[in-house]
Amino acid sequence: MANSGKVPPFPPLLSDEEIEATRKPRPDSGPPTFDPWPPLEAKFPRIAQTVRSLWGKRELDDYLNRLLIDERGDRRGFPPEVVEALLALSHRHAAKFGFRAPGDHDWRNLPMRGR
Protein backbone atom coordinates (compact mmCIF):
# COMPACT_ATOMS: atom_id res chain seq x y z
CA MET A 1 0.00 0.00 0.00
CA ALA A 2 1.56 3.22 -1.13
CA ASN A 3 1.49 6.35 0.94
CA SER A 4 -0.38 9.03 -0.94
CA GLY A 5 1.48 11.78 0.91
CA LYS A 6 -1.37 12.51 3.29
CA VAL A 7 -0.62 12.42 6.99
CA PRO A 8 -3.24 10.52 8.93
CA PRO A 9 -5.12 12.72 11.37
CA PHE A 10 -4.30 12.43 15.05
CA PRO A 11 -7.03 11.06 17.27
CA PRO A 12 -8.88 13.73 19.23
CA LEU A 13 -7.49 14.61 22.64
CA LEU A 14 -9.60 14.06 25.72
CA SER A 15 -10.39 16.92 28.04
CA ASP A 16 -9.47 16.76 31.72
CA GLU A 17 -13.12 16.14 32.55
CA GLU A 18 -13.31 13.20 30.15
CA ILE A 19 -10.15 11.68 31.60
CA GLU A 20 -11.40 12.08 35.17
CA ALA A 21 -14.76 10.53 34.22
CA THR A 22 -13.04 7.35 33.00
CA ARG A 23 -10.52 7.10 35.85
CA LYS A 24 -11.29 4.50 38.48
CA PRO A 25 -10.98 5.65 42.08
CA ARG A 26 -8.15 4.17 44.09
CA PRO A 27 -9.21 1.98 47.01
CA ASP A 28 -7.16 3.98 49.48
CA SER A 29 -8.23 7.54 48.86
CA GLY A 30 -6.07 9.09 51.57
CA PRO A 31 -2.34 9.29 52.08
CA PRO A 32 -0.73 6.30 53.75
CA THR A 33 -0.44 6.62 57.48
CA PHE A 34 2.81 5.78 59.17
CA ASP A 35 2.63 3.84 62.42
CA PRO A 36 5.64 5.02 64.44
CA TRP A 37 5.31 2.49 67.25
CA PRO A 38 6.63 -0.75 65.66
CA PRO A 39 10.14 0.55 64.81
CA LEU A 40 10.44 2.38 68.10
CA GLU A 41 9.21 -0.51 70.25
CA ALA A 42 11.34 -3.05 68.37
CA LYS A 43 14.63 -1.17 68.68
CA PHE A 44 14.18 1.12 71.70
CA PRO A 45 11.43 -0.23 74.00
CA ARG A 46 12.46 1.97 76.95
CA ILE A 47 12.13 5.10 74.83
CA ALA A 48 8.72 3.92 73.60
CA GLN A 49 7.62 3.36 77.19
CA THR A 50 8.82 6.83 78.21
CA VAL A 51 7.03 8.44 75.26
CA ARG A 52 3.79 6.69 76.26
CA SER A 53 4.14 7.79 79.89
CA LEU A 54 4.78 11.43 78.92
CA TRP A 55 2.09 11.60 76.21
CA GLY A 56 -0.04 14.73 76.68
CA LYS A 57 2.59 16.53 78.77
CA ARG A 58 4.94 19.34 77.81
CA GLU A 59 7.83 17.24 79.13
CA LEU A 60 7.45 14.94 76.12
CA ASP A 61 8.50 17.73 73.77
CA ASP A 62 11.61 18.37 75.83
CA TYR A 63 12.39 14.65 76.00
CA LEU A 64 12.02 14.21 72.24
CA ASN A 65 14.15 17.30 71.59
CA ARG A 66 16.92 15.87 73.77
CA LEU A 67 16.74 12.59 71.82
CA LEU A 68 16.73 14.17 68.39
CA ILE A 69 19.17 17.05 68.87
CA ASP A 70 22.73 16.12 69.79
CA GLU A 71 23.99 18.86 72.07
CA ARG A 72 27.01 16.84 73.26
CA GLY A 73 28.44 16.16 69.82
CA ASP A 74 29.34 12.54 70.45
CA ARG A 75 26.17 10.59 69.71
CA ARG A 76 25.95 8.06 66.89
CA GLY A 77 22.31 8.85 66.20
CA PHE A 78 19.27 6.68 65.63
CA PRO A 79 18.50 4.51 62.60
CA PRO A 80 16.48 6.43 59.98
CA GLU A 81 13.22 4.57 60.71
CA VAL A 82 13.51 5.46 64.42
CA VAL A 83 14.18 9.12 63.62
CA GLU A 84 11.10 9.06 61.39
CA ALA A 85 9.08 7.50 64.22
CA LEU A 86 10.27 10.05 66.80
CA LEU A 87 9.54 12.95 64.46
CA ALA A 88 6.08 11.56 63.62
CA LEU A 89 5.26 11.19 67.31
CA SER A 90 6.54 14.68 68.01
CA HIS A 91 4.40 16.20 65.26
CA ARG A 92 1.31 14.24 66.33
CA HIS A 93 1.82 15.33 69.92
CA ALA A 94 2.20 18.95 68.83
CA ALA A 95 -0.92 18.76 66.66
CA LYS A 96 -3.04 17.18 69.37
CA PHE A 97 -1.88 19.16 72.40
CA GLY A 98 -0.64 22.41 70.88
CA PHE A 99 2.99 21.98 71.77
CA ARG A 100 5.70 22.73 69.26
CA ALA A 101 7.46 19.98 67.35
CA PRO A 102 11.26 20.04 66.91
CA GLY A 103 12.24 22.52 64.26
CA ASP A 104 9.10 24.63 64.69
CA HIS A 105 10.72 27.89 65.68
CA ASP A 106 9.56 31.45 65.34
CA TRP A 107 12.52 32.85 63.44
CA ARG A 108 10.85 36.25 62.95
CA ASN A 109 11.81 37.42 66.45
CA LEU A 110 15.52 36.63 66.12
CA PRO A 111 17.88 39.49 65.28
CA MET A 112 19.36 39.41 61.79
CA ARG A 113 23.15 39.28 61.47
CA GLY A 114 24.77 41.98 59.42
CA ARG A 115 21.93 44.46 59.76
For the chain, the domains span: 37-102
User: How confident is the model at residue 95, as a pLDDT?
Assistant: 86
> What pTM was computed for the model?
0.61
User: How confident is the model at residue 107, as a pLDDT?
Assistant: 44
Distance, CA of 60 to CA of 58 (rounded, Å): 5
Mark 3-16 as b/e (b = at least 16 C-beta within 10 Å): eeeeeeeeeeeeee
The tens digit of pLDDT for each residue in 46-105 reads 999 999 999 999 999 989 989 998 888 888 889 999 999 999 999 899 889 887 645 555
User: How confident is the model at residue 112, as a pLDDT?
Assistant: 47
* DSSP 8-state symbol, 5: S
Cβ contact 68:51 at 8 Å: no
| Dihedral sign of CA atoms 34, 40, 42, 46 in order | negative
| Dihedral sign of CA atoms 26, 32, 38, 43 in order | positive
